A and B are shown apart, each in its own frame.
Chain A
Amino acid sequence: MALDPKNQYAFDECSILHFCQLRVPAAWRAVFGDVLQHRNYPKLLRLLHGLQKCFIPPYRFAPASNLEGNLIRTAEGLLEGRAAWMPNPVKKLILEQLQEYLESLDGYAAIEKGTEFSSVKAAFTAHQRPLAKSNPPKRVPKQSEI
């Protein structure tokens, strides 16, 4: 993926949480291994390293919306229902680590959420293009062919 320094690269809370690599307590290592990470972790990490290499600051939306819901959803996604024994303490431990990770984050510039969208509207208006049918038009199957 080509990174353009003129662009802003912003991450929502869930994506930021997927950057987190979690330590698994010894009692659950037989199920999860030593560390727990989202399946997109390697790709996201490559992207973050790419941004750092190009001196492009990553952005995050501020304030985060539904932070608690995102934390819980991320924890559940990481566990994928695999903790059959004492599932609640392990979920709590994952949540604690995710919270600590978010609190320790720096290096992200914030994109303030505002109610003023005129610049976004102007950008759309300036780049307005008529919708065109694909050429040649798609062949519609006849009733007898269905």
Chain B
Amino acid sequence: MRLTKDEAMSLILRFAPNHRISSKTLLNKLLASFNLHLIPIDIEFKLNKFGSFSPDVDKLSSNDYFEKYAYEYNGTPCIGYRMKPPATELAEKTIRTKLEKILSVGELLAFKKEIQHLSTLSASDISDTEHRKLLVEVEDRDTLLQKVNTLHVDFYDLYQELDKIPEDSIVNITLRALIEYCYYLTKYLRDKRFKRLEEAYDHDAYMLDYYFLHILSRAIPMIKEEMGKKDKDSRVINKYYQFIVNSVKEYPFSLENPDLKKLVPA
């Protein structure tokens, strides 16, 4: 399950005040915020000095669901995005058929409020908060490396306990799959992605490296809690599984990479 570009755009414009977004940079930030809510979208983000950035957003052109419009701000020509009527229906359908499968009513409301709130901020304000949260700044490198190592050790411990989860239900199999996948993913992040961090800002980094680190650290307490429960919460487990496995497109650690096994030798 992954949201298409049109579905993501329809949701943002449906939730935004006046159903408009004033700039491409702000739109980039709003689309990137889906990742922190564990909503996989069909857009890959790179890291640049202004935070997460996607070349895909440049390519968005007016269609049935939204249109670009030109306006002037302090004498400077700007481009904004505004909703077209069919986007309302697409947004409702996306909520019903996709979001409600992974988000609870409370989580959906929190996501809607955050989009509304972020729409009123400047892109640089959003970027600062995002960078602090994801540890992308050069001065946070020590904390970042410590986090990578700790996460891998935590997932190694969980992986050793995999046999305690019986394979007798789909929710148990999903939990086992999540732990096993995360164990190899943290190994890959530690040994390949973050092994030699340059002193300078990494302009070619995949934002998913940072999103994954952030999400994986949130997954640990959830997994520990669910492992101890008889009636497991399949929605929560599935939400983490879907994001971690299905949000990748061009990212190397992907089930669609024929050489995946070579990335993380045993």
Which residues of A are at the interface with B, using a C-beta cutoff of 8 A?
25-30, 68, 71-72, 85-89, 91-93, 95, 99
Is residue B60 within 8 Å, beta carbon to beta carbon, of the partner chain?
Answer: no
Q: Which residue of B lies closest to A86 (CB)?
A: B180
Given A68-B169, A72-B167, A72-B170, answer yes or no on A88-B176 (Cβ-Cβ < 8 Å): yes
Contacts of A68 in B (CB 8 A): 169-170
Q: Is the CB of B255 within 8 A of A26?
A: yes
Q: Could you show 12 A-B contacts with beta carbons less than 8 Å apart? A: A25-B255, A26-B258, A27-B257, A29-B258, A72-B173, A85-B261, A86-B181, A88-B177, A88-B179, A88-B180, A89-B177, A89-B245
Contacts of A28 in B (CB 8 A): 255
Q: Is the CB of B258 within 8 A of A92?
A: no
Number of B interface residues, CB 8 Å?
23
Q: Is the CB of A30 within 8 A of B258?
A: yes
What 4 A-B pairs come out closest when comparing CB atoms? A92-B177, A27-B260, A88-B177, A25-B255
Contacts of B184 in A (CB 8 A): 86
Is residue B88 within 8 Å, beta carbon to beta carbon, of the partner chain?
Answer: no
Contacts of A30 in B (CB 8 A): 258
Q: In the complex, what distance in Å separates the CA atom of A91 from the CA atom of B167? A: 10
Contacts of B241 in A (CB 8 A): 92
* Chain B positions 237-266 with a Cβ under 8 Å from a chain A Cβ: 241, 245, 254-258, 260-261, 266
Which residues of B are at the interface with A, using a C-beta cutoff of 8 A?
162, 167-170, 173-174, 176-177, 179-181, 184, 241, 245, 254-258, 260-261, 266
Contacts of B170 in A (CB 8 A): 68, 71-72, 95, 99
Q: In the complex, what distance in Å separates the CA atom of A91 from the CA atom of B245? A: 13
List 13 additional contacts besides A85-B266, A86-B184, A89-B180; criterion CB under 8 Å. A25-B255, A25-B256, A27-B254, A27-B256, A27-B260, A72-B169, A86-B181, A88-B162, A88-B173, A88-B181, A92-B173, A92-B241, A99-B170
B169 → chain A closest CB, angstroms: 6
Contacts of A71 in B (CB 8 A): 170
Contacts of A95 in B (CB 8 A): 170, 173
B201 → chain A closest CB, angstroms: 32
A35 → chain B closest CB, angstroms: 15
Q: In the complex, what distance in Å separates the CA atom of A29 from the CA atom of B258? A: 7
Contacts of B169 in A (CB 8 A): 68, 72
Q: In the complex, what distance in Å separates the CA atom of A72 from the CA atom of B260? A: 25
Q: Which of A28, A86, A87, A88 counts the most B-chain CB atoms under 10 A from its CB?
A: A88
Q: Which residue of B lies closest to A94 (CB)?
A: B173
Q: In the complex, what distance in Å separates the CA atom of A72 from the CA atom of B173? A: 9
B171 → chain A closest CB, angstroms: 9
Q: In the complex, what distance in Å separates the CA atom of A10 from the CA atom of B241? A: 36
Contact of B181 among A29, A89, A99 (CB under 8 A): A89
Contacts of A29 in B (CB 8 A): 258
Contacts of A89 in B (CB 8 A): 177, 180-181, 245, 255
Q: Which residue of A lies closest to B179 (CB)?
A: A88
